[in-house]
A and B are shown apart, each in its own frame.
Chain A
Amino acid sequence: MRVIFYTGKGGVGKSTMAAATAFQLSKNNSVLITSLDPAHNLGDIFGVTLKDKRTKFAHNLFLAEVDLQKRSREYLEREIDVLTRTYSYLRALNLENYFNVLKYSPGIEEYALLTCIEETVRNGTDFDYLIFDTPPTGLTLRFLALPRVTITWIERLMKIRRQILDKRYTIQKVRGGPKEGEKNPEIKLKYEEGDDDVLNRLKALDENYKSLNRFLQGEDCSVIIVFNPDLLALRESERLIEGLRDLGLPLRLLIDNKVTGDNLETAGEVEKSLVEGFGKDIPVRRVALAATIACQLGRCLYDIPEDLVSAL
């Protein structure tokens, strides 16, 4: 199974390129294409209505649009449920509903996005290719950086937690066990690594994120940048390439989309600038803009003549 992320500035044609690649790949492989962009248009490209579940489009091609708000809500509801169970005594006072305020925690969207990728990868092992159409640059870089940022935090927190347990162990050894009939809350504190819920949870999260990070940086994962022959797209693509390099994520292809006879020269300059400055070994594909495409309502937007798969 191989995973491909399509990324780039807003409006450059990520979704169309991702859809075209998925369509071309599906001739010989089984493919699932998932849109992570909150402003979905995968359904529009294929001319179908997609809900938050996998839909079969052709024999080998499946489509999905992720409802991020719904995912965030589900995740927080799960957490609120754990909290409510832990503090079940609050039910007696009818106070458990106050945890609902957590629904408004910021930063949850990126997490929901990442969880969604993880789930799709875990459940998509029967596909040859998983293609993700991602939101514009800013959010994409943030969520792709999330495993690494999180791992750094988890490692720091685990270090402090281990120090706490070490010191608790010393206290326990000096004090000895509680005597008969004695109730001392300090003595009941957990000092073994396996008994501490916080450390156990941190360890589980650490393992989760490390494996996700290994996967994202691995051979089976590819990132493809789509850009247009203009200055803004060039600058944003440069930032994106730098960001991907910092994160150690594998950039495999550059697609120069919407090239016409008028902007041919600019297209050449933009491609040259990107390749020379950032990715000498990375192939570039050029995709022409069909000027009449918007007027031809019945036309398949995903079926383009350029070959997008041979470089993958």
Chain B
Amino acid sequence: MNPSFSEKMKHILEGFLTGRKESVIALTCKEVQELENIFSLLLLGSFVGFPAPPTFLAVELLPYMEREMQVLQYRADTSGDMLAELCGILGVD
């Protein structure tokens, strides 16, 4: 059965609203990702030669750091194109 006109309109409006919401929080999402990246770098920085906290602190928290390590990996992959990513978020063409 084809959706009625009001249902179509509802879908369009919902899509529009979600789009607006995502554009509002895009920067916050990025900030979270960056903070998570900083957190992991501070904690696990000895792997890349940064001054690190007492080793056991990193070892204690390591079991819970799966997501942070993924973010770290992602940031390492995309760090060459950081400017483009920021322009994308801020809507600069």
Per-residue 0/1 for A282-309: is the Cβ within 8 Å of any B Cβ (1 yes, 0 no)? 0000000000000000000000000000
Query: Does B84 sit within 8 A of A, measured CB to CB?
Result: no
**A205 surroundings in chain B (CB, below 8 A):** 57, 60
Interface size on A, residues (CB 8 A): 39
A167-B35, A174-B21 are known contacts. Are A82 and B57 too (CB-CB below 8 A)?
no
**B39 surroundings in chain A (CB, below 8 A):** 157, 160-161, 164
In whole angstroms, how far apart are the Cα atoms of A38 and B68 in the complex? 37
Query: Does B19 sit within 8 A of A, measured CB to CB?
Result: no
Instruction: Select B55's contact among A106, A156, A163, beta carbons within 8 Å.
Output: A106
**A82 surroundings in chain B (CB, below 8 A):** 63
A160-B39, A170-B28, A186-B29 are known contacts. Are A86 and B53 too (CB-CB below 8 A)?
no
Could you tell me which A residues sit within 8 Å of B by CB distance? 75-76, 79, 82-83, 85-87, 102, 105-108, 110-111, 146, 149-150, 153-154, 156-157, 160-161, 163-164, 167-168, 170-171, 174-175, 186, 189, 197-198, 201-202, 205
A to B CB contacts below 8 Å, 30 in the list? A79-B60, A83-B62, A87-B66, A105-B55, A107-B54, A107-B55, A110-B54, A111-B55, A146-B54, A149-B54, A150-B54, A153-B53, A154-B57, A157-B39, A157-B42, A157-B57, A160-B35, A160-B38, A163-B35, A164-B36, A167-B28, A167-B31, A170-B28, A171-B25, A174-B28, A189-B67, A198-B65, A201-B60, A205-B57, A205-B60
